[in-house]
Structure formats: structure tokens, C-alpha cells
Amino acid sequence: SLIAFSDFLDKIAQAYKQNLPFVAYREPNVTKLTAFFQENDTLHLAHDFESKGFVFAPFDTKDAIVLIPDTHELQTEFEAQAVDSASRAIPFPETAASKETHINLVDEAKTFLIENALPKVVIARSKTIPVAHFDLLQTFYRLLAKYTAATVYVWYHPKVGLWMGATPEMLVTLVGQHFKTMSLAGTQVYQGDMEVSWRSKEREEQQLVTDYVVSKLKDKTLQLQAGKPYTVKAGTLLHLRTDIQGELSKDMDLKSLLNTVHPTPAVCGYPTDKAKAFIFEKEQFDRSFYTGYFGRLHPTEKTTLYVNLRCMQILANDKARIYVGGGITQKSKPQLEWEETVAKCNTMQAVF
């Protein structure tokens, strides 16, 4: 049912205060928000993808996928409100140690790629920042207002934690047997113009990613098509994107499609198995739900799932952990890769 925006925010605040699971989200370029609320703190898991509700899945495919059933659904229209303009974004400095660690990891990744003649691995880092007097509703509101072209969400389960984010990347849409997915690669800072030139390194990387996704899907699907790459904006960043679509063959379902496309080359690298092995061995932290996926599961109508990028976990004691990463190739420059993660951190930090 459609309710007033202020009442919708009140419901979120109430559920959070009562330690009850909920999720509220808005898809790209629309004003409608949807929320699901649970009346108890049972931890529901998605095993078969046959249930209806909102799934929240981790990067590691061996870990459990949490489901918030869609039994109590509310919707509202986003209303722009004046936000206190006096509160400027506080810079959260980077430490020399975290810079050194990341640059060393980029060097290790490049060596790994060269020695094994592999195209790409995605490495990530986390950054914990102080967020004194954290205000859930204000932070969620700022994400909504700032990232209109992203999928913005706040997700809470007392047995798992509180997560928020604004992602530019759709993982998969499925209606009946017809699916859509995308390949996303290349990043540059938005300078006020969408008509940008991409270096050959980025165009090659984008084409390799598209070819890889298509090769993984082609034996399992019918009428597979990949479009032409184009530029998309995500907050203060630009990316190259290619849309891919087709029909699932009769023996394929959503679960097997997800096993094929997750994790994507944009969050893991490829070939998947080798890139994933490097990540699990070398990254110094648990990605948890970062670079996993989330979204509404509706087996009989439309399921749309998004990759959990540009996200953060709100911790106890007024701290937030931000997760960012970047794709490394044999030609990557460690200093530039570090700077890209700093730009991505700023995307999230700007809401505090």
C-alpha cells in the first residue's frame, strides 16, 4: 500500500529501534520506494529461489543467502526535502599504512596475472570511519537524494547487521525465461560531461569482460545478444557498460543462472575460479555482502537483482565500514588504482 514518505521513514525508524528485520530500496531513475518488514527476528534463508521476498547474498557463494519475505510490503513516493546545507562532508583521511597495503596488493595481483597469463583480478579493501551520532534516516535520505541513477537500499537484520548502499550495477533481470544482464568495466571521474573518451586499455577490458560473460552463458541460453558499449554515470564516477540478453534454455532456472553469472568479472575478475582463489588467499578482510547481490525475488513475475557495490556496513559504537575495489590488469598502475579506491570511498563518505 502507498503511504506518505514521512510515515514510510517512521516505519523504518520503528523497525530499527525494535530490532526487527527490514529492507527499503529504490531502483534507478524512479521515485517509488518499496520496503518489506518482518514481525519477528527469524533468520530466513533463500535455498531454492522459489520464495518471494528480498534476497541479500554474500560474495562467497558458500555462505548463506538471507531472505526477508515480502509479507508486509509498503510503498511510498520519494519527496525531496531541504537538507541542512551547513553540514559539509567531512574528509576522512586515508592512512599511509592502508595505502601501502593496497599498493602492495596491486603489485602482487599484477605479478599473479603476468605469471599465469591471466587478464584480470578484482581486489578490494575496507575502510572504517567514525560516524558520530549516526542518523539512519538522514543517511538513507542523502543516499536517495544524491544517487538518483543508482539502486539505493538500507537493509537490516539484528542477527546479521545494518547495510546501506547505492549501486550502479544490475546483476540480472528475469521475467519468465527471458533474462537481461550486463558487463561493466572501466572507471573515470565524472567531470560534468558524459561525452568522454575511453583509453584503449579500458575499451579492451570492457570487450574482454563482455566476451567472457557471453562465453559462460552461450551453452545455457538461446538467442543471446550483446549490445554496444556505452557510458553510464554512478555518483561522481563513469563506467563503460554493455547490455546482454537472451532466453534461458528449458533446463536452466534462476539458481543456475546466478551460479553462472555471480561473481561477475566486474567484482572478481576472470577466469572466475583462479581470480577467486587469489582473492581468498590475498585479501586481508572478509568481503561479507560487499560484491554479493541483492534484490526482489518474484518467481512468477519479475526478479531484479543488483550487485552490492558502493556499500557500507554500519557498525556498533558510531563507526561505518566502507568497501571499495577495482579491477587489476597486467598494465595497471598501482598509484592510480589506489586513487580509484579513494574516489570510490568518497562516493560513500559524502553522505555523512
Tens digits of residue pLDDT in 311-329: 999 998 889 999 999 999 9
Quick one: pLDDT at residue 169? 87
Cα dist from 175 to 44, 56, 227, 245, 307, whole Å: 24, 20, 19, 11, 18
pLDDT band for position 257 (cuts 50, 70, 90): very high
- Asked if 184 and 336 count as a contact pair (C-beta separation under 8 A), the reply is no
Quick one: pLDDT at residue 168? 84
Least confident piece of the model among 31-45, 152-166, 247-261 = 247-261
Q: 84 or 51: which carries more pLDDT confidence?
A: 51
C-alpha to C-alpha distance for 176 and 163, rounded to whole angstroms = 30
Mean pLDDT on 23-31? 95
Percent of the chain at pLDDT above 70?
97
> Beta-strand (E) ranges in the chain?
22-26, 32-37, 44-45, 53-57, 66-69, 73-77, 120-130, 151-157, 161-167, 170-175, 178-189, 221-226, 230-234, 237-248, 269-270, 293-297, 302-307, 311-315, 319-328
Quick one: pLDDT at residue 208? 82
pLDDT band for position 87 (cuts 50, 70, 90): low
Quick one: pLDDT at residue 205? 80
Percent of the chain at pLDDT above 90?
73
C-alpha to C-alpha distance for 10 and 258, rounded to whole angstroms = 35
Mean pLDDT on 206-221? 90
pLDDT, the chain, mean: 92
Quick one: pLDDT at residue 90? 64
Mean pLDDT on 182-188? 84
Task: Answer whether residue 269 shows pLDDT above 90.
Answer: yes
